[in-house]
Amino acid sequence: MHIPDGYLDWWIGILMYVISGAIIAYSIKKVKGIDTTKIPLIGVVAAGIFAAQMLNWPIPGGTSAHFVGGALAGILLGPYAGMLAMTSVITLQCLVFGDGGISALGANIFNMAIVAVFAGYAVYSLLRKYDIRIASFLAGWVGIWLAAIACGFEIGFSSIFAYKIGITVPVMAVWHGLLGIVEGIITMAVVAYVTSYHTKVEPKEVPA
């Protein structure tokens, strides 16, 4: 789902930089008072998500996709720290490994570090009182699905895609709707594992 250089019209690229930049600034403000002992945890979650994103799950039929981890970051770290962890992963992928274009970095952060994290966190918060497993599965699934739809709109509004929003949005939504099942299962497994260790893992606002 990493948009490369050359896909987005310049104004979309800049708009997404501005939106993402504002949300990053707000998130930094929100986590300012964070307990410094939690910073290594944020680093470890970010590193784990980076490593997990490197694994491409082969899907018979010629598609493969990787875990994104936005919802997981939001659930484990709270939405603001989770958003910043995902931003660091996506920025690293872009600057060091050329995964996702620099002109599209704002858009990629918006899709995977903002939409996936906040939507995933919201779904989890709403449903966890019923069942943590179902809540985390749906958080992962909804997070990646909405991120894909956001991506579909961004490329669909661009001239190189001939403004074919009628194609880009459905293609992204259908594929990632299916691939989101893998995202949901991994999110559920990790959250279930972590909660089994700490009997009370509430999704935390950091600072909590």
Which parts of this chain interact with another protein (CB under 8 A)? 1-7, 36, 39-48, 50-52, 54-65, 88-89, 92-99, 101-103, 148, 151-152, 155-156, 158, 160-162, 164, 167-168, 171-172, 175-176, 179
User: Smallest distance, Å, CB 202 to another protein?
Assistant: 19
User: Smallest distance, Å, CB 53 to another protein?
Assistant: 9
Tokens matching residue 169: 């949005």
DSSP H helices in 68-131: 70-77, 79-97, 105-108, 116-127
User: Smallest distance, Å, CB 121 to another protein?
Assistant: 20
Question: What is the number of other CB atoms lying within 10 angstroms of the CB of residue 166?
Answer: 9
Nearer to another protein, 125 or 175 (CB): 175
User: Smallest distance, Å, CB 123 to another protein?
Assistant: 21
User: Smallest distance, Å, CB 115 to another protein?
Assistant: 15
139 in Cβ contact with 125 (< 8 Å): no
Residues 112 and 151: their CA atoms lie apart, in Å, by: 9
User: Smallest distance, Å, CB 127 to another protein?
Assistant: 25
Nearer to another protein, 5 or 134 (CB): 5
DSSP letters, 165-187, are HHHHHHHHHHHHHHHHHHHHHHH
Nearer to another protein, 126 or 192 (CB): 192
Nearer to another protein, 17 or 175 (CB): 175
Nearer to another protein, 44 or 126 (CB): 44
CB within 8 Å of 187: residues ≥ 6 apart: 69, 71, 72, 75, 120, 136, 137, 139, 140, 143
Question: Do you find a cis peptide bond into 207, omega within 30 degrees of 0?
Answer: yes
Nearer to another protein, 127 or 178 (CB): 178
